[in-house]
Structures are given as structure tokens and as C-alpha cells.
Amino acid sequence: MRRSKAKLYDLVERIIYLYENEKMTIRDIEALLRSEGYDISKSSIHRTIKSYTELAEEYKRTAEETKALIEALREQPASYQMEAILTMLVSKVFNFVRSIEELEFEDPHELVLALNRLASSVEKMQRYREELEAKMAKVELEAKKRNIDKEFIEYVRKEIFGA
């Protein structure tokens, strides 16, 4: 596995700082780092900045998607909200793993275990929601047989599902 020189020299944060905060050009950053004895090219610096920019844009997009999802689900039961958020999270993590060019994990086995736990959580949330809905349907049917007030049943539904 080949690592970029910016990562190899542990310069990623510094390159980003010089570019973003000090407003230095890629050429100036290269000159500065070379004057300090680092053997790093403009293209390596450019790739580092591009990678950081893409990551920042993806983070912003994900934050916006999450806000939109939460807003759209505001009136839905909490179990639906959790299920939708977990599903989105699993999707993002799988896309991230698929796009990894360099595995830099101490133990890739830990990543696989974490992904399995995340997927399992989504399944459990779906089963839990389905079980609640089935139980509520039984309660509603029994309430109808016993001629229990519909407003009370709606109250129970709101208490259980949160909407």
C-alpha cells in the first residue's frame, strides 16, 4: 500500500492550514516545505487539498441530508426516525468503505465488525417497529370489539409511536 508523502510526513493538517488559513498557494506551500527538508511535490500537495475539499463537501452534503431527513420525519414515530437515520448511516458507511483507495486501518477486522453491528441495529429497529405495529393493530381490534373510545385508542397510539 502506497501512502501519499503528505501522510507519510504527517503534513496533511499543516498543508490544509497553510492553504485555508494562511491563504498560501500550492507553489508557496511546496517551497516552504522543501526549505524545511521535506521532499514533496506540488501534485502531492494538490491531491491532499483536493481530498480534504471533497471530504468537507461530503460532510456538508451528509449534514444537509440528515437535517432534511429529520425535518421530513418530524411527525413520524421515533422508531421510524431511528430506522431511517440508521439506514442512511449504513448507506454512507458502505459507500465510504467501497470508495477507500488505501486501507489504513490498524485492524480491518474491527471495521467489518462495526459494519455488521450497524447493519444488525437497523434490522433490530425494523423488527421492533413491525412488532409494535402488529401489537397496536391487535389492541385496536380488541378495543373496537369492546367499544372503547376511539380518542383513547388514538392517545395510546401517540404514546407508543410518538406521533
Angle of helix 78-99 relative to helix 108-145, nearest 10 degrees, comes to 160
Q: What pTM was computed for the model?
A: 0.47
pLDDT tens sequence across 81-130: 778 888 888 787 777 766 654 555 556 677 677 778 877 887 888 888 88
Task: Give dist(CA 58, CA 86) in Å, integer.
Answer: 18
Task: Give dist(CA 163, CA 161) in Å, integer.
Answer: 6
Provide CB contacts within 8 A for 92, sequence distance 6+.
62
Provide CB contacts within 8 A for 59, sequence distance 6+.
none
Task: Give dist(CA 31, CA 25) in Å, integer.
Answer: 10
- Among the listed ranges 17-21, 25-29, 81-85, which one has the minimum average pLDDT value? 81-85
- The three-state secondary structure class of 21 is coil
- Closest Cα to residue 90, out of 108, 110, 115? 115
Question: What's residue 61's pLDDT?
Answer: 87
Task: Give dist(CA 64, CA 58) in Å, integer.
Answer: 10
- The three-state secondary structure class of 26 is helix
Q: Where are the alpha helices (DSSP H) in 9-107?
A: 12-20, 26-35, 42-72, 78-99
pLDDT tens sequence across 59-89: 888 888 888 888 888 878 777 777 888 888 8
Percent of the chain exceeding pLDDT 70 equals 88
Q: What is the mean pLDDT of the chain?
A: 83
Question: What's residue 101's pLDDT?
Answer: 47
Mean pLDDT for 132-146 is: 91
Can you tell me which residue has the cell 378495543? Answer: 143
